[in-house]
């Protein structure tokens, strides 16, 4: 079955165009499942719906959240669909198993005043500062995922139409327009910052945003560390991740009247329901403002 598992991982990468992150997560989930089956002397092709339900109970007893259990079930469903497709199995044991209902959490966003302070933190007299400012402007000004931004190459920059070409989940391509601040920050970085970060031995490097130490394309982890560094210097106590800048982009666009279907396209969401969660955020934000500002909205002391 090991060979079949390897074929499945190749299928995810080659035919499904799954991201490295997705493949890694599915691989880990399935390895955990296989270990569970082995500990109970059950072959994976012998597992039935009762086996899967017992596995769910085992996960619950291990203290996993419903969201984590739902993700593991998604991995299993994908794998068993592959086994059916390859004629390894005739019946899918997950057909009679319900996925635990996920707990929906509203994405967190950052208020514009705090965003503006954060964007002004980098030192524009240094190469790293120019890079950091441009990165954060793209995360907030373009709503890019951090993986999309880290994967940007020079040929994806489309200055004549004030946009960047992005390859999102499933390697789906989309054009993301950029506002003047983002374009200005990106231009300054490319002209004055990137040449200083590019190492002589890496002259062929095509990544837009470079690591200061080795001159190669910057990583997700490095971007998170950079943002953490600036947040610690701010005048307010915040916890800001790169993805929160993307959430803030969508929330602020909605608050200012943007059509939700346009935002869906800009964010690269496959389903409108994924984008609609931001409407709940704006409603929640409006209630906060109402409760703080309206005489009849304030709670009595």
Q: State residue 156's pLDDT score.
A: 96
Between CA 15 and CA 266 the distance in angstroms is: 25
Active-site residue among 194, 246, 247, 252?
246
Active-site position among 145, 194, 247, 252: 145
Residue 169 falls in the annotated catalytic set = yes
CATH of 2-96, one of 3.40.50.620, 1.10.150.130, 1.20.120.790, 1.20.120.1200: 1.10.150.130
Judge contact between 168 and 268, C-beta under 8 A: yes
Does residue 216 carry a catalytic annotation?
A: no
Strand order in the sheet with 173-177: 157-158, 163-167, 173-177
Residue 289's pLDDT band (cuts 50, 70, 90): low
pLDDT digits (tens, 9 = 90+) for 204-244: 899 999 999 899 999 999 999 999 999 888 867 778 888 88
Which range among 6-15, 169-178, 289-298 shows the weakest confidence by mean pLDDT? 289-298
Comparison of pLDDT for 18 and 142, the residue scoring more? 142
Per-residue pLDDT for 257 more than 90?
A: no
Comparing 71 with 107, the larger pLDDT belongs to 71
Chain segment 148-180, per-residue pLDDT in tens: 999 999 999 999 999 999 988 777 889 999 999
Full-model pTM: 0.63
In sequence order, which residues have a C-beta less than 8 Å from that of residue 88 and are 6 or more positions away? 4, 45
Closest C-alpha to 285, from 108, 150, 163: 108
Between 272 and 103, whose confidence is greater? Answer: 272
Task: List the chain domain ranges.
Answer: 2-96, 112-293
Helix, strand, coil % over all residues of the chain, rounded to 5: 60, 5, 35
Distances (CA, A) of 222 to 68, 206, 211, 216, 290: 26, 18, 8, 12, 39
Mean pLDDT of the chain: 85
The question of whether 278 is a catalytic residue gets the answer: yes
Could you tell me which residue, 187 or 109, shows the higher pLDDT?
A: 187
The 10 Å CB-count burial string (b at 16+, else e) for 13-34 is eeeeebbeebbebbeebbeebb
* In the predicted structure, residue 184 carries a pLDDT above the cut 70: yes
Kindly name the residue from 27, 169, 224, 285 that is annotated as catalytic. Answer: 169
Query: Parallel, antiparallel, or unpaired: how do β-strands 157-158 and 163-167 relate?
Result: antiparallel
Strands, E, within 75-229: which ranges?
Answer: 157-158, 163-167, 173-177
Residue 29 has pLDDT above 60, yes or no: yes
List 16, 108, 224, 243, catalytic entry: 243
Q: Give the per-residue pLDDT at 131.
A: 97
| Residue among 248, 285, 275 nearest 110 (CA) | 248
Residue 188 vs residue 269, higher pLDDT:
188
Q: For the domain 112-293, what is the CATH superfamily, name and number?
A: Intergrase catalytic core (1.10.443.10)
The pLDDT-based confidence of 185 (bands split at 50, 70, 90) is very high
Q: Is 246 an annotated catalytic residue?
A: yes
Give which of 242, 243, 250, 244 is closest to 280, Cα–Cα.
Answer: 250
Residue 253: the pLDDT is 83
Element (H, E) at 251: helix 242-255
pLDDT above 70 as % of the chain: 89
From the list 55, 80, 249, 278, the catalytic residue is 278
CA distances from 26 to 18, 166, 182 (A): 10, 24, 35
Residue 198 confidence (pLDDT): 94
In sequence order, which residues have a C-beta less than 8 Å from that of residue 34 and are 6 or more positions away? 5, 44
Give the residue-averaged pLDDT of 58-76.
89
C-alpha span between 9 and 12 (Å, rounded): 5
């Amino acid at each position: 079955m090991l060979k079949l598992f390897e074929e499945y991982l190749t299928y995810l990468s080659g035919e499904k165009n799954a991201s490295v992150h997705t493949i890694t997560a599915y691989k880990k989930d399935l390895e955990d499942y296989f270990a569970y089956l082995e500990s109970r002397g059950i072959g994976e092709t012998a597992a039935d719906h009762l086996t899967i339900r017992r596995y769910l109970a085992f996960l619950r007893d291990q203290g996993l959240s419903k969201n984590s259990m739902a993700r593991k079930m998604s991995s299993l469903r994908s794998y068993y669909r592959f086994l059916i497709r390859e004629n390894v199995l005739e019946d899918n044991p997950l057909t009679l198993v319900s996925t635990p209902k996920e707990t929906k959490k509203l994405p967190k966003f950052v208020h514009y005043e705090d965003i503006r302070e954060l964007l002004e933190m980098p030192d524009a007299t240094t190469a790293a500062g120019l890079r950091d400012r441009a990165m954060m402007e793209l995360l907030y000004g373009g709503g890019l995922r951090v993986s999309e931004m880290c994967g940007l190459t020079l040929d994806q920059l489309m200055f004549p139409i004030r946009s960047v070409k992005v390859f999102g989940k499933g390697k789906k391509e989309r054009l993301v327009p950029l506002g003047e601040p983002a374009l200005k920050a990106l231009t300054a970085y490319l002209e004055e910052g990137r040449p200083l970060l590019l190492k002589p031995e890496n002259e062929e490097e095509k990544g837009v945003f470079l690591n200061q130490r080795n001159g190669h394309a910057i990583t997700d982890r490095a971007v998170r560390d950079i943002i953490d560094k600036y947040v610690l210097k701010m005048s307010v106590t915040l916890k800001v991740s790169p993805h929160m800048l993307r959430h803030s982009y969508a929330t602020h666009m909605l608050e200012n009247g943007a059509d939700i279907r346009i935002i869906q396209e800009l964010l690269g969401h496959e389903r409108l329901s994924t984008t609609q969660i931001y409407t709940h955020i704006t409603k929640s934000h409006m209630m906060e403002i109402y409760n703080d500002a309206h005489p009849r909205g304030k709670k009595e002391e």
